[in-house]
Copies of this chain bind each other. A is one copy, B any other.
Amino acid sequence: MGTRQSIPPAPQQAGRRRRPRARRVPNPDLRTSTRVDILHSAARTFRRLGYHGATVEQIANALHMKKGNLYYYFKNKEDILFACHQYSLDRLMELVDQVEQSGLTADQKLRRLIVSFVHTILDELHGTALFLDLEALSPAHLKTVIVRRDRFDRAVRQVLQQGMDAGVFRPGDPKLLAFAILGAVNWIPRWYAPAGPSTSQDIADRFADYLIAGLRQA
């Protein structure tokens, strides 16, 4: 069984599903949809206050739910954090697959990685920083997250190495350079304001321009 799409499906309970509140469609997996709602609320709250600073009540209230209700959808708070990470990592793994299977050149691949990464963080995860509060995860969950994160890191390094081999990029330590690139991007949620002067499109393009320019052969 793959780890892809690890968020919604959840260990399903028996029988049909209902709606949490205020909607009335008899859709078979509204349970899944509610789980995703919770994840989004949790992600926003975790980003603002950190895992330990955020309370289960805050996550619930943002959805007009009571905190006890969240335990119908998730085992506990840590489980919610883990699901947030899996959700984000699903997006990242999709991106890596896409890029690896494309026949693009190294610099095109890198641009695609950076641009899509920025869009994913800002638009889809609306500002949820990846790889946050890892220390709050259980050892087993932590291991899972790190394995997948490492796959992403490795993909970026590989593209850098390819570019260097092809002479498009200046020689250098791919590991260090990958950290620099990912750091610049992962830091965006700290200062990004959706109502600010820069759109996510702007940021994605400018960051890609700058971060790739620093690599090019003189």
Q: Which residues of A contact B (CB under 8 A)?
A: 48-53, 131, 133, 135-136, 170, 172-173, 176-177, 179-188, 190-191, 198, 202-203, 206-207, 209-215
Question: Which 5 pairs, one residue from A and one from B, show the smallest C-beta to C-beta distance?
Answer: A183-B187, A214-B214, A52-B52, A183-B184, A52-B53
In the bound complex, what is the Cα–Cα distance between A131 and B180 (angstroms)? 18
Chain A interface SS verdict (over half): helix
Closest to A135 in B: B49
Which of B50, B183, B206 makes the CB contact (< 8 A) with A186?
A: B183
Contact (Cβ within 8 A) B176 A206: yes
Closest chain B residue, CB of each to CB of A196:
B175
Residues of B near A180 (CB, < 8 A) are 184, 207, 210-211
What residues of chain B lie closer than 8 Å to A173, measured between beta carbons? 198, 206
Known: A50-B53, A179-B187. 5 other contacts (CB 8 A): A50-B51, A172-B206, A176-B210, A211-B214, A213-B214
Q: Is the CB of B184 within 8 A of A181?
A: yes
- Chain B residues with Cβ under 8 A from A177's Cβ? 206, 210
Neighbouring B residues of A183 by C-beta, 8 Å: 183-188, 190
In the bound complex, residues from chain B placing their C-beta under 8 Å from that of A185 are 183
Contacts of A191 in B (CB 8 A): 179
The residues of B that contact A52 with a CB separation of less than 8 Å are 49-53
How many Å from the CB of A160 to the closest CB on chain B? Answer: 11
